[in-house]
A and B are shown apart, each in its own frame.
Chain A
Amino acid sequence: MKIEVLGTGCAKCKTLYENTKKALEESGKSAELVKVEDIPSIMKYGVMSTPALVINGQVRFSGKVASVAEIKGML
């Protein structure tokens, strides 16, 4: 599984990254977690509001910070 957190480096994006990391730890699943900060890569997904979460190439949500529990449900 590959998880990408899209965001240009704002406070919300950092929170989403931390929440995702925690969700991964708590669920015990293994995945490659990366933070994507450059605009061209973010735009490739067509995301227009950050932060956004991409799992295996699919945008799961954009423009919000999801809770740890919520992210666990998506893994």
Chain B
Amino acid sequence: MLKNFADYIVFNLLTLKPGSRLGEALDFFIYDTIKIFLLLAVIIFVVAIVRSQFPPEKTRKILSHKREYIGNVMAALLGVVTPFCSCSAVPLFIGFVESGVPLGVTFSFLVSSPMVNEVALVLLWGLFGWKIALIYIGTGLVVAIISGIVIGRLRMEKHVQDYVWEMQVGNGEIVEKTFREKLAFAREYTLGLLKKIWPYVIIGIGVGAFIHGYVPQDFLARWAGRDNPFAVPVAVALGVPLYSNAAGVIPIVHALMEKGMAIGTVLAFMMAVTALSLPEAIILSNVLKKTLLATFFGVVALAIVFVGYLFNAIL
């Protein structure tokens, strides 16, 4: 139905020829924009309601003194439903480790929470289909679980800034919200997030539409196809500075995949965009010493590169 609407505007109202470059690019742009914004509005709202059931204080209680493996799995899963913003990474980290959440379990949470986020999911589902979205969630969770287990095994507690262990943390009893308050919160959250990301989404879809209409088919197959072994690590490195722009990056990547970028490379790139971020690293340096910060980034980056190679090999 949306497709018909976009076709009608472009080919009937604007009388552009089907198959012409401008026509195809514009058709793609209008269709994707409407579809993505509808999906974003609905899904962000639903996710916000789910998230209001899992404030970080509750998550911390669940994860406190959990053992390896089971703790890592639960942390990765709770990371999906617990709201997280990199600006409160420091109080969250301190709150977790101070209340007895093991370091490795805390890292499973810190990896999964930004990586499996609602904006990335909507865009993946809307543009790539539900299969790719599910693969992304599944591998994202596995990356979070394994990275956390590895960091936990490395026994790096002494590489947490010393003051963290001496801090006095209150037990943070917060007033439970009523359902009406939760709805109001979800509405405001949705509007706020849409307000923040809409320009990136439009620009991303615009660039994607341009690539769709103007870049020749298989243009990228040589450089970003599955036969180039450097494509995955380069994609991961490029993803690091693009943080918080997942909204704009995913539509572009979608168009690049049409032009021959391999699926494993696409997945690795998107995971790097969401999970590895420079600003978050700077914020986390308040609580982590350099060795641990570098280990965190290294382990997660390696896991993501592995995911990239794996999917290039099997799909």
Contacts and interface: CB of A to CB of B under 8 A. Distances in A.
Interface size class of A (residues with CB under 8 A): 20 to 34
Interface string A44-55: 111111100000
A51 to B, nearest CB: 9
A48 B87 contact: no
Given A43-B94, A48-B92, A59 B172 contact: yes
A46 B56 contact: no
A39 B169 contact: no
A65 B188 CA distance: 9
B175 A43 contact: no
B88 A43 contact: no
Contact of A50 (B87, B96, B172): B87
Contacts of A40: 163, 167-168
A63 B56 contact: yes
Q: How large is the interface on B (under 10, 10 to 19, 20 to 34, 35 or more residues)?
A: 20 to 34
Contacts of B315: none
Most chain B C-beta atoms within 10 Å of own C-beta, residue among A59, A60, A63, A67: A63
B90 A63 contact: no
A63 B56 CA distance: 9
Contacts of B98: 43
Contacts of A46: 57, 95, 169-173
A65 B222 CA distance: 48
B260 interface: no
Interface of A: 8, 10, 12-13, 39-40, 42-50, 59-65, 67
Interface of B: 55-57, 60, 83-85, 87-88, 90-92, 94-96, 98, 163, 167-175, 177, 185, 188-189, 192, 286
15 contacts: A8-B90, A8-B91, A39-B167, A40-B168, A43-B98, A43-B167, A43-B170, A45-B170, A48-B60, A49-B92, A61-B177, A63-B56, A63-B83, A64-B188, A65-B192
